[in-house]
Amino acid sequence: MDIITIEELHNRLNTGEQINLIDVREPYEHEEFNIGGVLHPLGRIMSADVDDIEQLKDSEVIVYCRSGNRSGQAAMMLESMGFSKVKNLQGGMMAWRVQFPG
């Protein structure tokens, strides 16, 4: 599993790059604060319910959660399902909000 830092992702988003972001948190966490990722909670990934993201198997996918732990699990699961370019956002939304509070 590869890692991407919040600074790297922030810079890429600021350039307008099209990025496949997957938020593996729970719906209430996603509603509270998100950076534009598609909500796909970890439980769905753990149960192999990935039909709606299947088309991303050969594309870069960046997964994130609150701290980086759940997204790390999600990244490993996605890789085991054949997703070839998965990156975990280091530090998750906690680090993001500290670094980019606005």
Phi, psi angles (nearest 5°) of residue 74: -60, -40
* Contact between residue 38 and residue 54 where contact means Cβ atoms under 8 Å apart: no
Q: Which residues participate in catalysis according to the annotation? A: 65
Give residue 79's identity as a one-letter amino acid code: E
Instruction: Please report, for residues 3, 14, 54, 67, 87, the alpha-carbon distance to residue 8 in angstroms, rounded to integers and kept in the order given.
Output: 10, 10, 25, 16, 12
